[in-house]
């Protein structure tokens, strides 16, 4: 952790993007802000990480996109979750919870 910010763990960004889009249809900037607000600014999502993740999950057909107008009256690409994306989010969430439980088990072992 640097400067009070948590490190983004490898493989978690796709899952968090899918979760954000499970809440609502959003443009890229909105997804990044949602993750930051939800984590109380402990995670900052840089464009250099977010947009490749969006392109990757779009290629996998987990999200689709359409052009719209943002809150600032600007043209923006809005992403929304597909049925495949909802299935993938459920799979990744289960896997993440299993992994987190395993790590908690290791960390909770009392020192002898």
Domain of residue 78, CATH code: 1.10.10.10
CB 28 within 8 A of CB 13: no
**pLDDT on residue 71:** 86
What is the edge-to-edge ordering of all strands in the sheet holding 63-69? 26-27, 75-81, 63-69
CB 45 within 8 A of CB 32: yes
| pTM of structure | 0.87
**pLDDT on residue 58:** 97
Helix (H) or strand (E) holding 104: helix 83-107
Asked if residue 38 belongs to a domain, the reply is yes
Asked if residue 112 belongs to a domain, the reply is no
Domain range for 51: 13-107
Asked if residue 81 belongs to a domain, the reply is yes
Estimate to the nearest angstrom the gap between the alpha carbon of 71 and the chain centroid.
21
Per-residue pLDDT of 8-65, as tens digits, reads: 666 799 999 999 999 999 999 999 999 999 999 999 999 999 999 999 999 999 999 9
């Amino acid at each position: 952790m640097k400067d009070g910010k948590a490190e983004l763990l490898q493989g978690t960004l796709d899952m968090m993007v899918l979760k954000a889009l499970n809440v609502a249809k959003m443009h890229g900037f909105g997804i990044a802000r949602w993750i930051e607000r939800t984590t109380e600014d402990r995670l900052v999502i840089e464009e250099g990480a977010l947009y490749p993740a969006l392109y990757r999950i779009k290629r996998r057909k987990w999200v689709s996109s359409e052009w719209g107008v943002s809150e600032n009256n600007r043209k923006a690409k809005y992403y929304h979750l597909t049925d495949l994306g909802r299935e993938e989010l459920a799979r990744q969430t289960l896997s993440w919870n299993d992994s987190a439980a395993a790590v908690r088990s290791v960390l909770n072992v009392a020192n002898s």
